Structure formats: C-alpha cells, structure tokens
Chain A
Amino acid sequence: MIVETLLPLGKEEPRLRAPKVPLSICRVVEDAQLVMIPGRIYAHEYS
C-alpha cells in the first residue's frame, strides 16, 4: 500500500474550520524532506 501524509505532520483533515496547525509554505521543503526519511521523523519526534 502507498502511505501518504498531510503537512504538517499530525495535521487532521480540516473540513470547513480553520486547522489547528496551519501549513507553513516556508517549511514545505524541510517538512517534505522529513517525510521522505522515516529515521529522521523518528529522531525529530522523540529527540
């Protein structure tokens, strides 16, 4: 199965209300690189 995520990580589908954690366009490159490397996500979440 192909597994995808929204950005930022942990974001829930927003429906029609403003999301709790908005996407930052300035962090897209950095966040996408995190998504691509699972080891780094682990390090990021638990460090």
Chain B
Amino acid sequence: MRRRALFLTALLVGVSMLAVPGAWAADVRGVTDTSVKIGCLVDLSGPGKYGGPPIADAFRDYVAWVNSEGGVHGRKIDLVVEDNGILPNTTLQAAKKVILKDGVFAIGFNLGSAGASAILPLCEEHKVALMPHGANKKFYDPGNTWVFVPHTVQYSMACRAVEYIVKQDPKAKIGIIYQDDGFGREGLEGAEAAAEFLKTKIVKAAPYKVGTIDFSPHMSTMKEADVDWILLWTYLPQSAAILKQKAKMAWDVKLLSNNTTGVPPLFALAKEHADGYMLVTPYAPGYMDLPGINKAKEINKKFGDYDKQLGNPMYPDYLYLAAWGYATAVVEGLRKAGKDLTPESYVKGLESIKDHDMGGMCPNITFGPDRHVSSFSSMILKADAKKARFEIIDPIEDPKTPQR
C-alpha cells in the first residue's frame, strides 16, 4: 500500500510539472537591443581542419570591424565559433550546441555539404537562417526558406570550366576525374550539363574513392581515351598526385580543376609540375590589387594577425576571402532587416540584397525571394610555378548553361 502511494505521489509530481512552463524565452532567440548572436561552424579538429582557422579568422576580423563601427542598428555582433568536425554527426552536435545552448540567431557559415544537410531540419525547426559552404545545388534548387548560399556552387563552376575549354578549343576532347561523393558528383553533373548544352560530350569520366593518391589507372584511362583536357573535381592532395603522374607520363594534357585546390601548398606539393595548372573559382587571388581585397587586408591588419594571415604567402587566403563573402552577406542581411529583427525579417532582409559590391574580390552578392544563391559566376586562374601564385586568365563571368 505504502509502495503504491510512493509511486502515485512521484507520478503526480511528475505530471503536475508538465503543466509548468519551462523557461521564459527571449522574444527572439539570440537578439537583444544591444547584441545579436551569430554562429560560425567550421572544422577545427576533423578532416577539414585545414579550412577551419582561416574561415574563423575572416569572421572574427569582419565582426570586430563591424562592432568597432557601432554594430548593426545599435547591436554588436556576438560571434560564436564552434568546431563542427565537418562530418554529419559532429556538425549536428555543433549546430545543436549553438542553437539550443548558445541561442544563436543565425548560422552565418557551415563548412561541409553533408553536415549542412544533416542540420537543415534543426535550422528549419528553430527558424535559423543557415549559410552552408561547399554548398550543393540542392540547397537553392528547389530551395528552402532558411538557407542562403553566398557562394558560387560546384555545379556552376563545372559549367563555367567546360564552357571555357570549348571556347578555347571547340573540338576538345574532355575527360573528368572526380571524387566519388557529393562534391565530385556535382562537378560531374555540371560538366555534363554544360557539355550537353554546348552539344559536345564528356568522353571519359573516372571516379575515385576519398583518400586515393595513386592516380596511374585514372590517368591511363584518360590517355587511352585520348583526351585533350582533364577536368579535376578533386581536393588538393589528389590534384598534386595527378600533376606528378602527368609529369611521370610526360603527357602534355591540360588540367582544369576547382576552387578548393587553389591554395599555396599546391606549389609546395607539386613544385614545377604545378606550372600551367588551371582552376575555376569565384575568388580572385589574394595578392591582387583590388578594392575588395585591399579592404580585407586593411581590416586584417587592424583586427587580426596580418603577418601570419593575409600577409603570409603560405596562408590559404582563398578560404579567408570565401568567409569574407559570407560575413558580408550576414551583416548586409542584418542591415536590410532593420531594427525590428526577427527570423522572418532577416530572411526578407537577405532576400533584398541586390548587387552588393564585393570590390572585385568575388562576384557581387544578389539574393531574391526565389533566388537564395548569391551568384553563378566564376573566373579561370592559371598557376605560375616560378612565382608560386595563380593569375587570372579569364575574368568573372556567368555560365551560359542554364543553372536551374
């Protein structure tokens, strides 16, 4: 009898507690009259660790600069940088932490497409605007209210790459070596779409598993197909391995890769073999005298560690500049949303950004109610091994292949 009474009492206490409201939430999560909390999820410990620090550097510098000017509508930006480990599981944990524990208003950057997919429902549920990097076409086509991509995606870059090749040589035989995952397959999809649009075709496609560094079979396949150009939807170590394999085969085939490989360590890895290596990217090289890049350098000198960052020739400046574009979109959205900041007004604010000037650093930013990707444009760069840097050989341009 006493036991039953004990159980019943415990149950009654529990049930009565259900009726008590939890905590009094703020009107809008992450927003006060004087501050707005923004999350930035980067890889600081996982396979993408190389990319995390320069992205975080750019966000910290940009936010410090905006705050030094008084913030946005009187609100200082409170930046929360969190390690997402780039993998889906770890990204989900990081997103939960910044949304549910830290209470961020928006996630201004997330590194890794699969991880961004994994956190999408969480962002939707809590009305968190999300800006994924390494973004896939799927994020804006068909699109989602809360997702904005301030970046040219791999699909558009692959289209642009094929169009460039055909412009150079209308009869070129094109092959592609791609990583067998979402990133590589999106490159293949874009290349095939552009080839079809231009009434040509990709004569050979050779996938590889993540982590492969022996490309002799892939290059032999390309040689057998007698291709003139090889598109590379690969990451840095794979591109370097392919460059060495090309030199070993003494084969004068032209290589055109994607933006992820346009970093200084390529020259250290491939040395003189890097000469003539081309890539498609939305970001101008960091050494160039362009208003956008000069402004970033000036702010980095003031708020960051310039000698170790943009002033360091081995620093992966393209990642810094990519994050700069994201930070710009985040802040511009806050400005356009006005003083009355809510998730809905922020989405409207972002959607009203039109042709925001990036000073030549990358394509200008434009969003709209039915367009949540900032740009489809990119440029072609070519490696100069002696100077250990890339030079623009074809300026920023939209692909002609339909993008949606």
**A and B associate in one complex:** no
